[in-house]
Amino acid sequence: MTTHDIAVIPGDGIGLEVTPAALEVAQAAGRRHGFAFRLTEYDWSCERYLREGAMMPPDGLDRLRGHDAVFLGAVGAPGVPDHVSLWGLLIPIRRAFRQYVNLRPVRRFEGVESPVRGDIDLVVVRENTEGEYSEIGGRMNRGFPEEMAVQEAVFTRAGVTRVLDYAFELAGRRRGYLTSATKSNGIVHTLPFWDELVRERAAGHPGVRWDQEHIDALCAKLVLEPSRFDVLVGSNLFGDILSDLAAAVAGSIGIAPSANLNPEREFPSMFEPVHGSAPDIAGQGVADPIGAIWSAALMVEHLGHAGAADEIVAAIADVLAKGDVRTRDLGGTAGTEEFTRAVLRSLDGAA
Ligand code: NAD
Ligand code: IPM
Ligand code: MN
C-alpha cells in the first residue's frame, strides 16, 4: 500500500477545526482506494509565536522539505499582527518551495444558494510568489508629516511566463477559454508587461481562446455573468481578490479550496482552504469544512489518486444536494463535525 508522508499545520482559529475534518475524509478515501497517510503535525501558529517568539522553528522549512505535501489550516490571530504571522509561516513556505501556482477552483453546487444566476465552474490561477506581494518597500518617517509607505510590485519574465503557461495548459484541458485579469490602461507599469507576456504565451497555445479584462470590470462581470468564465489568471493580489469574490458568488468563502503548487515537484506543494482563521467564529465548532475537505481532495489528486479525489468532491456535492445538512454560512444549522460525518457517510455509500 502507498503511504504518503504529510506535514500538517493546523495553525490558528478555525484552522484547528477544519484540518482534522479534512484529513479524516482524505483518510477514508484512502482506505477505499488502497493508500494511506503518515501525518506529522506541527504546532506552528500564533500561539507558538506568543509562547516562543517565532511562528515556526529556525529549521522549519527544512523539516517540511522531505514531506510529500503540506496541509495547512489557517494562520492569523488577534493579538499577533498579520504581517508577523504571515511572513513568519505562510509566505515563506509558498516562496521557499517555489509554489508559484495558486490553484483555486470554484463551483456552484446544487442546493447551495448563490446571490447570482447561472452555473459556475471556473478556476482561478493566481501567481503566488511575486507581484504585489514583494518584500521590497518600507515605512518611512513614522510620526512625521512626511510619513509614507512604499511597496514595489515585482513582475519577472520568468515568473509571469511560468504561471501563464500553467494557466493556458489548464484551460486547454478544460473548456479552452482563459481570461487574464489586468489593469493596463496606462496607469501602472507592471501590467502592460503582464499583457505582453499573455499575448506571447497565447501564441504557443492556439487551441485556447483568451481575452483580458480590467480587474474592476472583471469583478463586475464575475457577479453579473459568472458562467461565462473557465480559467481566470491573475497576479498575486488580483488572484487573491478574485478567489474570495468568486467563492462568495458561488455561495460562501467557506467552500473554497486551494493548492499552492510547485508544478516541477522539486518541493512539496501545500494545500489549504482559501479562507482565513475566522476569529469571529473560531472555537464554536460551526466553521464550514468544505474548503478544507476540497483542499484535501486536491492534495489526494496531486498525490496521484484522481479517482479518490473525484469521490471526495462528489460526496460534498451529494450532501449539499440532499440539503438537510449544511453549515451556517450556507444557511443551515449543522456544525463542522455533523457536516463532516455526512460527507463520510456519503463517501462510504459511494459505488
Ligand atoms: P477570514 O477568511 O478568516 O474570514 C472572513 C469572513 O468569512 C468571516 O466572517 C468568517 O467568519 C467567514 N468565514 C471564513 N471561513 C469560513 C468558514 N470555513 N466557515 C464559515 N465562515 C467562514 O478572513 P479575515 O477575517 O480577513 O482574516 C482573519 C485572519 O485570517 C487574519 O489574521 C488573516 O490574516 C488570516 N488569513 C489567513 C489566511 C491563510 O492562512 N491562508 C487566509 C486569509 C486570511
Ligand atoms: C490567501 C490569504 C493570504 C494571501 C494572506 C493571509 C496573506 O488571503 O491565502 O488568500 O493573500 O495570500
Ligand atoms: Mn485571500
Exposure string for 74-106, b = 16+ CB within 10 A, e = fewer: bbbbeebeeeebbebbbbbbbbbbbbbbbbbbb
Residues 224 and 324 grouped into a single domain: no
Q: Assign residue 27 the CATH number of its domain.
A: 3.40.718.10
Name the residue with cell 487551441.
Answer: 207
| Closest listed ligand to the CA of 277 | 1
Of 166, 183, 288, 318, catalytic: 183
Domain boundary among 212, 234, 250: 250
Tell me how far apart the alpha carbons of residues 222 and 275 are, in angstroms, rounded to a whole number.
19
| Closest listed ligand to the CA of 255 | 1
Note the pLDDT of residue 248: 95
pLDDT at 186 over 80: no
Each residue's pLDDT tens digit, 81-110: 999 999 999 999 999 999 999 999 999 999
Quote the pTM value. 0.97
Is there a domain that residue 18 lies in? yes
- Cell numbers linked to 174: 478544460
Q: Which residues constitute the domain of residue 58? A: 1-101+257-351
In short, whether 72's Cβ falls inside 6 Å of ligand 2 is no
Domain boundary among 223, 250, 277: 250
pLDDT at 351 over 70: no
Q: Domain total for the chain?
A: 2
Is there a domain that residue 108 lies in? no
Each residue's pLDDT tens digit, 127-169: 999 999 999 999 999 999 999 999 999 999 999 999 999 999 9
Is there a domain that residue 170 lies in? yes
Could you give the ipTM of this predicted complex? 0.98
Domain boundary among 192, 223, 250: 250
Residues 118 and 217 grouped into a single domain: yes
Residues 24 and 90 grouped into a single domain: yes
Residues 224 and 350 grouped into a single domain: no
Note the pLDDT of residue 350: 76
Is there a domain that residue 109 lies in? no
Residues 234 and 125 grouped into a single domain: yes
Residues 130 and 238 grouped into a single domain: yes
Tell which residue, 19, 22, 21, has the closest CA to residue 73. 19
Is there a domain that residue 325 lies in? yes
Residues 78 and 28 grouped into a single domain: yes
Write down the mean pLDDT value for the chain. 97
Q: What is the DSSP letter of 105?
A: E
In short, whether 86's Cβ falls inside 6 Å of ligand 2 is yes
Each residue's pLDDT tens digit, 298-338: 999 999 999 999 999 999 999 999 999 999 999 999 999 99
In short, whether 248's Cβ falls inside 6 Å of ligand 1 is no
Tell which residue, 293, 270, 289, has the closest CA to residue 328. 289
Query: Which distant-in-sequence residues (6+ apart) come within 8 Å of 252 by Cβ?
Result: 112, 288, 329, 330
Note the pLDDT of residue 285: 98
- Cell numbers linked to 90: 505562510
Which residues are bridge partners to 192 per DSSP? none
Q: What is the DSSP letter of 89?
A: I
Q: Provide the strand spans (E) within 177-274.
A: 177-182, 209-214, 231-234, 257-261, 269-273
> Bigger pLDDT: 114 or 79?
79
Each residue's pLDDT tens digit, 11-54: 999 999 999 999 999 999 999 999 999 999 999 999 999 999 99
Q: Are 155 and 190 in contact (CB under 8 A)?
A: yes
Each residue's pLDDT tens digit, 193-252: 999 999 999 999 999 999 999 999 999 999 999 999 999 999 999 999 999 999 999 999
